[in-house]
Structure 1
Amino acid sequence: MKTTTVIGTGAIGTSVALALTRRGVKVHLEDVDRAAAKTAEAMGAGSLEAPNERVDLAVLAVPPAQVGNVLARVQDSGLARAYLDVASVKKVPHDDIRAVRADPASYIGSHPLAGTERSGPLAARADLFEGRPWVLTPSELTGQEVLNRALELVTLCDGMPVVMDAGVHDHAVALISHAPHLISSLLAARLEHATEESVRLSGQGVADVTRIAAGDARLWGDILRSNATAVADVLDAFAAGLSRAIGALRTVSDADPEKRRRAEEDLDELLREGNRGCARIARKPGTRRTELATVSVTISDKPGALAELFTSIGKIGVNIEDVRIEHSRDHTRGLVELVVQKGSATELSRWLGAGGTWAVSG
């Protein structure tokens, strides 16, 4: 692949452009938001100059509801040899393409499962897709050359290609992305009118479960509308579990000891079900949570402390799989949670010493 046009310079589109530019692909940028396109260009994602001949691939980084019309427009202009979208819903674009009579043979749906709650080109990174699943949803009419172009794109972006049916994909992302986003938003909404005293008590737990609620409301509204049925199905099952939890909590203080016992058992089982589901989620590709352990360490909030900690841990041969940092309210220290292989956790804890405190040298 030598040339590409990326239409849409939000976080995902600009990340694709940065990844391709890094690999030597000539990228042309297009966006109705001229300011966003200029920002992406200034970041080195590509050029705003229109191509003077057909490009090898056009990447449509637009909301799901816009894919069909944008595809029809750029196909009519002969922009590219192959076309691909990166929207997070796949069945709606597939159906819209038929409705607007766009050419399905030169198009393939795709969805890179990577992103951020932030939006716009400044949220983009060239390494955003490294090691992340990138779903491809070819139809029965998609040409082999188009599929090959899509696979090449995923390879150039260091993603992991996964071929799926569009409907199966939409039900999967409803469970692992779309419904969680809406649930996070509903929980975060409870904070809008909370007392200042309550908000001041908030810590990493509520920050973790509400982080994705900071996403662009307009973009997420489009995503949820485009995958409404699948998301509603997930929420039906969630609502059943929520009702069960509410019933147990209402009964856990009942005067009848047998009812209390059953409520306590039901509440405990709900938490265990959560443990089992959580254990199935990989912290990083190829690693299950059950294979990992967390070691906590307190560090001074001084320049170089974190870098020195990581360097020293590397010298003893322990690989850090994941990390989370929580600052103290006085900003003099931070709690660092290091996720490592279970076999390394004891060694790391012993090396850190009593109290798990790390002070920067000098």
Structure 2
Amino acid sequence: MIETWRWYGEFDPITLAEVAQTGASGIVTALHAIPYGEIWSSEAVAARKSAVEAAGFVWSVVESLPVHERIKTGDGDLSGLFANYRQSMANLAAQGIRTICYNFMPLLDWTRTDLAAPVAGGATCLRFEATHMAAFEIHMLGRQAAEDDYSDEVRVRAAAWFQQATETERDKLLSSIMAGMPGAFDRYDIPGLRKALAGYDGIDRDALRANYARFLSEVVPAAEDLGIRLCVHPDDPPRDILGLPRIVSTGADLDWILTAQDSPANGVTLCSGSLGAHPGNDVPAIAAQVAGRIHFAHLRNVRKEPDGSFEEAAHLEGDTDMVALLRVLLGEEARRRAAGRADDAIPFRPDHGHHMLSDHDRDFVPGYPLIGRLRGLAELRGVIRGIGHV
């Protein structure tokens, strides 16, 4: 497997010189300053690649080439947006960059309610707290029908939290939910979020699937021609939130996606954390199910709670059997080698880490500290080496 490290370019306080000390050989990055829907120019792609290679790395994976919100809603004439996406892919392929991670999450990217939840020993982690999300949806956002999405127990706790929460605590909750990805994307206040959600009125799971199928039909053939492997990232969390459908959350969802365009160019980013937050998902089993179309892997772990809450666990802890998952991925690599596939090695990165030790003295992109991810990479590296010697 190819060890990679996510780097946010000009938005990342971690330097490539520091990343070099982790032992990773590949960089996972994107042109975060370019607004969604605009073309990634040849010059901008070449400049980022040059910076990565000058530091001694390979630009292994693009994460992410964003899908514009109008494509997700199917709003208006989309020909220009599809053309721009294809041109960005062509400009990446011209530089030899051929693995592109993306997601199809409506409106918001990954969503958490707490960016610094305490864990044992003084570290902190990302957390999704069902009570706080319910308080946000029901009492702060005032979304109709939100009460139907939560149990009686969660609704009671949510009302109590909202009643005692200070304005500062409510603002912090909104900020956490909006944290998502750095770069050129929208962060909303409450009125802005209500307006943005209105753009999804009438779009249910079937409608969103139809819009996704259209996107795939527009870009996968071009990816085939360019030798590009697209790999969709699962929903995070893998559940409907804010009344918006999530359609990349389960093994059945992935089966539908891979069948919609049955091509090696249409693949999966196997994110063990996102899939692992769904109570019905067996992550190693899902990995085995889609193994031949895994083009990239995010390895992290979560610990789930009965009410739908979850938090980031250490990479070898939590609810997913990481050793079993790595056996699946390494077995797939062996099958690819035996078949003579050129893409036998799967790039992976240690996803999300605990904020720990001297990381507390620096600001980082939420979920992406230096030492916490280095710990995860070291643990994963050890398991991979160990499996290889069994």
Higher relative contact order (CA 8 A, sep 6+): 2
Return the index of the structure with the highest Cα Rg.
1
TM-score using structure 2 length: 0.27
TM-score using structure 1 length: 0.28
